Structure 1
């Protein structure tokens, strides 16, 4: 049994693919998503085996979304596109397959055969065609997605309620991306188990009498540094 998520901003396209997939008793559709941020959240939550992913979506397209997923928990990807020229990008991203929309049953059967007979580690961990660097961090607002430029990020904090990104005004923005993904795919540096920091915004490092260390950013916000990461931080700063 393969757990599947369908990601497409067009409802008719999702409905068509769902109806076709339901013909396969070994396919279990666990979620349908109409945008990248919703999809990232559901992929983290449900950890599907396969994601049928539309390439052309507003704000964040399928290729960009793929670069925002944790490479250590990457599902198998089947790209959906209305344009054949995107096939090259799909295979550069080491997708299992790509399907032209509207999807037809005969062509889908070939994809399903590949999925059912593919080794579990087929395209996990290696996505050579997908850029490893994020230029912005997508954050969820009320009925909108904010795209925060990496250069405008001061630090990132992991809280019980999720991952939050902070700017110069110390405003917080919620993101579906994991702390590990942000550490791996941005210039942000880990300074604490729960914090990443932009060293370009560093003003000073403070050592207190109790042996604790804090980074003071140029907006005077204090970010804690744990002993585990202090040595690395000093090396990066040439101290």
Structure 2
């Protein structure tokens, strides 16, 4: 039987150590890595072959759900959420038939979670989990203001969504344009669009999302597209596939 490669994500070293100790006593389980925050988790998942993530729902830089959004439901390994008692989160996991571990948990409970994960490591099972994760992200709203964690050379910066003027795709990254500063974030346009408030942000092009509160003017162009004039001097052209979205914005 193929070993189950497990990534442990929790900000508390003692809890990570306890989970690792339990996992190392189990047959056909390999601890593929440990992460203490969301940024490390996203990088580890993207760079390594992971079968299952034991993912703490509350991390210091973002939530466990933000990790799923950043990686994308199609690329996310199987996940078992780990949480101290959180009635809202537990209700969401149960509603969407996703497994979770309630801290503190013992070896027997962990083994049951791993057994269920193995059962789902089939094409049909994994597709079902993708759909369940998509429903969870659509229905579960994390309390508090939205913010993004930007990894710098030797520190992390926190950028509020309200500080963003516009967003531009850059290969497998996105650029957050905030006044005179630009931050590079390891995320896809589709992933970041899911995290933004649709009442505040508008996708106007496959490469551009704008903060509607920063729009100074909208200029019609030939062919049914528009030039969006923003604060700080940026001018962005809408894509043809997004014409209707801009028209709804200006009430046309």
TM over 0.5: yes
1:162 aligns to 2:173 (yes or no): yes
Match for residue 200 of structure 1? 213
Alignment of 1:176-187 (within 5 A): 176-186=186-196, 187=198
C-alpha contact (below 8 Å) 1:67/1:130 kept by paired residues: no
C-alpha contact (below 8 Å) 2:224/2:243 kept by paired residues: no
Give 1:221's match in structure 2, choosing from 234, 239, 243.
234
Decide whether aligned partners of structure 1 residues 202 and 53 sit closer, same or farther in structure 2, where only a CA change above 3 A counts: same
Match for residue 163 of structure 2? 152
Match for residue 117 of structure 1? 119
C-alpha contact (below 8 Å) 1:155/1:197 kept by paired residues: yes
Give 2:78's match in structure 1, choosing from 71, 76, 79.
76
Match for residue 86 of structure 1? 86
Listed one character per residue, the Cα deviations across residues 113-168 of structure 1 (whole Å, up to 9, x for unaligned) are 222224322343221652189842313143123131x332211111136212112x
Q: Greater helix share, 1 or 2? A: 2
Tell me the secondary structure at the aligned position of residue 59 of structure 1. Answer: coil
C-alpha contact (below 8 Å) 2:173/2:187 kept by paired residues: no
Listed one character per residue, the Cα deviations across residues 23-55 of structure 1 (whole Å, up to 9, x for unaligned) are 444434433211012213333444744221123
Tell me the secondary structure at the aligned position of residue 57 of structure 1. Answer: coil
Q: TM-score, structure 2 length as denominator?
A: 0.76
Distance in structure 2 (CA, Å) of the matches to 1:117 and 1:54: 22
C-alpha contact (below 8 Å) 2:172/2:186 kept by paired residues: no
Tell me the secondary structure at the aligned position of residue 219 of structure 1. Answer: helix
C-alpha contact (below 8 Å) 2:52/2:78 kept by paired residues: yes
Structure 1 unaligned blocks of 5 or more: none
Paired positions, count? 234
Tell me the secondary structure at the aligned position of residue 16 of structure 2. Answer: helix
Structure 2 unaligned blocks of 5 or more: none
1:137 aligns to 2:154 (yes or no): no
* Higher mean displacement: 139-148 or 19-28: 19-28
Give 1:175's match in structure 2, choosing from 164, 185, 195.
185
Distance in structure 1 (CA, Å) of the matches to 2:202 and 2:219: 17
Match for residue 14 of structure 1? 16
Tell me the secondary structure at the aligned position of residue 145 of structure 1. Answer: strand
Decide whether aligned partners of structure 1 residues 224 and 44 sit closer, same or farther in structure 2, where only a CA change above 3 A counts: farther
Superposition deviation, residue 62 in structure 1 = 3.4
Match for residue 110 of structure 2? 108
Could you say which structure has the greater relative contact order, defined with CA pairs below 8 angstroms and 6 or more residues apart? 1
Distance in structure 2 (CA, Å) of the matches to 1:129 and 1:212: 33
Distance in structure 1 (CA, Å) of the matches to 2:47 and 2:184: 16
Tell me the secondary structure at the aligned position of residue 117 of structure 1. Answer: helix
